[in-house]
Amino acid sequence: MSDDRSLDRKKAVPAIVGDPKDLLIVCGLAGASKDMAHLTNDGDNIFTMAGAMGGATALGLGLALSRPDKKVLVVTGDGELLMNVGTLATVGILKPANLSILCVDNGHYGETGYQESHTQRGVNLELIAQGSAIPNTRTIDREEQIPEAKKILRDSNGTSFILLKVNTEPPPSIKRSMDATERKVAFRRALLGIA
Amino acid sequence: MISEYGGQETWQEDLYSLLRSNDVELFCYVPDGGHKTLINKSIEDPEVISVPLTTEEEGVAMCAGAHLGGTKSVLLMQSSGVGNCVNMFALIKNGQFPFVTVVTMRGEFGEMNPWQVPMGQGVQPVVEAMGMHCLRAETPKEVSPTVQAALDMAYKSNQSVAVLLTQKLIGAKPF
């Protein structure tokens, strides 16, 4: 138990995601958005949030249903996912093969002063994902598991859910655009060729 | 005249055809008696994706995600569901996402369940406070033109629109 939050998100998230270029990426507010904006240089294949807490998984689900030809990755935190954990059940009844969810679980609300989240107090989001009928789930808390996590996120035939347990080291700092309209237009222009 | 509650009439069939002729391909809903025809037709239609939600705010975010991918969508909900969506409307407003929700109203004309009244009264002020347009349909004749107006405002002018199917139109559920 002492060991299960030893991974640093700044290393573990890029290692699991790998080359982000071929993915469509949706990120929940705060840490997860910073992790992924840093990895993609806030590129046109990523839509990050800085509010609308609890919406990231549903946003990614809508995108995945719209674009079954593309791999959609949702990256979000434990707090963001807990706010609308029922969305896992909606994902579970549909199981889009092109949707993967990476929950970066540091057990805390980092943005508001590192108050403990429910996952620090015994709540297991992987079991909730399993119970929500999501077919491929794993908890990753050691470096040697990272290649397996990467394979599951990339190759699963059916929705995958990775619970990545990390320590409370902060996400990378990056100045990302918080203009959701500008991000939407850039995303659609890159994907669809239209605004 | 008040309709029989939950009565499924031709305007509901027409509304489904209208949504489909406007290329709406994603139907998100929380089960609701007033939307029964639309929901069932979307489930039976192999050309669309029909998604039951655990809470209405999921549908708000799903519709935004679908737009990122180029798919038109609609969120079907009851007036009580609007209350579950308020913070998620920030995503729609900040992103200027086109968004159409069709809301069956409870808690207004002839309501017999007091628990429906507060949110019934709150719907219009709440959606307008969040920057959305609110259009009301009071008679069967008004439904299709009102929803068409909403779809045009959304997908041609990047507006978000709630169409309220009023209780005068759908009837009051007996208690």
* CA-wise closest residue to B153 among B173, B125, B134, B139: B134
Instruction: Tell whether B64 lies on the interface with A, counting CB pairs under 8 A.
Output: yes
A63, A64, A180 member nearest B91 (Cβ) = A180
List of chain B residues whose C-beta atoms are within 8 Å of the C-beta of residue A84: 55, 57-58
- B71 contacts in A (CB within 8 Å)? 62, 65-66
Q: Which of B57, B73, B94 sits opposite A54 (nearest CB)?
A: B57
Instruction: Confirm whether A1 is domain-assigned.
Output: no
Model confidence pLDDT, tens digit, residues B14-36: 999 999 999 999 999 999 999 99
Mean of per-residue pLDDT scores for chain B: 95
Q: Which helix (H) or strand (E) holds B75?
A: strand B72-78
SS (H, E, C) chain A: CCCCCCCCHHHHHHHHHCCHHHEEEEECCCHHHHHHHHHHCCCCCEEECCCCCCCHHHHHHHHHHHCCCCEEEEEEEHHHHHHCCCHHHHHHHHCCCCEEEEEEECCEEHHHCCEECHHHHCCCHHHHHHHCCCCEEEEECCHHHHHHHHHHHHHCCCCEEEEEECCCCCCCCCCCCCCHHHHHHHHHHHHHCCC
Q: Does B72 touch chain A (CB under 8 A)?
A: no
* DSSP alpha helix (H) spans, chain B: 10-21, 36-44, 56-69, 79-84, 89-94, 117-129, 140-157, 167-170
State the Cα–Cα distance between residues A141 and A164, nearest whole angstrom: 6
Tokens of B164: 């309220």
- Nearest to B71, CA basis, from B98, B108, B44: B98
Q: Which domain holds residue B137?
A: 10-170
* B4 located within any domain: no
**Sequence-distant (≥ 6) Cβ neighbours of residue A150 within 8 angstroms:** A15, A16, A17, A18
Residue B3 forms part of a structural domain = no
Q: What is the mean pLDDT of chain A?
A: 96
Let me know: does B71 contact A63? Beta carbons within 8 Å: no
Number of domains in chain B: 1
Contacts of A187 in chain B (CB under 8 A): 68
State residue B143's pLDDT score: 97
Q: Tell me, what CATH number does A85's domain have?
A: 3.40.50.970
Q: Give B-chain residues touching A179 at CB under 8 angstroms.
A: 94
Which residues are within 8 A (CB) of A128 and not within 5 positions of it... i.e. 6 or more apart? A85, A88
Per the model's pLDDT, the better-predicted residue between B5 and A17 turns out to be A17
Residue A62, domain member (yes or no): yes
Rounded Cα distance between A14 and A187, Å, is: 21
Residues β-bridged to residue A164? A104, A140
State the residue range of the domain holding A77: 9-192
Chain A nearest C-alpha distance from B155 (Å): 12
Report the interhelical angle of B10-21 vs B140-157 (nearest 10°). 20
Beta carbons of A59 and B94 less than 8 Å apart: no
Q: Across the interface, do A86 and B70 touch by the CB < 8 Å criterion?
A: no
Determine the average pLDDT of the residues in A61-78: 98
Predicted local distance difference test score (pLDDT) of residue A123? 97
pLDDT at res. A155: 86
Q: How remote is the C-alpha of B17 from its chain's centroid?
A: 15
Q: State percent of chain B over pLDDT 90.
A: 90
Q: How confident is the model at residue B173 (pLDDT cuts 50, 70, 90)?
A: confident
The SS3 call for residue B99 is strand
- Give B-chain residues touching A47 at CB under 8 angstroms: 68
- d(Cα B130, Cα B46) in Å, to the nearest integer? 34
Report CB contact under 8 Å: B62, A93: no
Average pLDDT over residues A153-161: 90
Which amino acid appears at position B45 of this protein? D
Residue B8, pLDDT > 70, answer: no
B3 pLDDT exceeds 80?
no
Answer whether A62 sits within 8 Å of B94, measured CB to CB.
Answer: no
For residue B6, the model assigns a pLDDT of 60
Q: How far apart are CA B59 and CA B99, in angstroms?
A: 10
**CATH number of residue B31's parent domain:** 3.40.50.970
Selected for mutation to probe chain A from B68, B88, B157 (highest A CB count within 10 Å) is B68
Q: Which of A61, A181, A192 sits opposite B65 (nearest CB)?
A: A61
Tell if the CB–CB gap between A61 and B60 is shorter than 8 Å. no
Residue B5 lies in a domain: no
Residues B104-154: pLDDT tens digits?
999 999 999 999 999 999 999 999 999 999 999 999 999 999 999 999 999
- When pLDDT is averaged across residues A13-17 and rounded to a whole number, the result is 98
How far apart, in whole angstroms, are the C-alpha atoms of residue B56 and residue A124? 25
In a domain, A140, yes or no: yes
Within 10 A of B157 (CB to CB), how many other CB atoms are there?
11
Q: How confident is the model at residue A132 (pLDDT cuts 50, 70, 90)?
A: very high
pLDDT at B46: 98
Question: pLDDT tens digits for B54-107?
Answer: 999 999 999 999 999 999 999 999 999 999 999 999 999 999 999 999 999 999
Count: domains in chain A: 1
Would residue A18 count as lying in a domain? yes
Please report the pLDDT score of residue A195 as a whole number. 72
Alpha carbons A18 and A16: distance in angstroms, whole number: 6
Residue B72: inside a domain: yes
Q: Among candidates A101, A119, A106, which has minimal Cα distance to A161? A: A101
Say whether A184 and B95 touch across the interface (CB within 8 A).
Answer: yes
Pairing of strands A108-109, A115-116: antiparallel
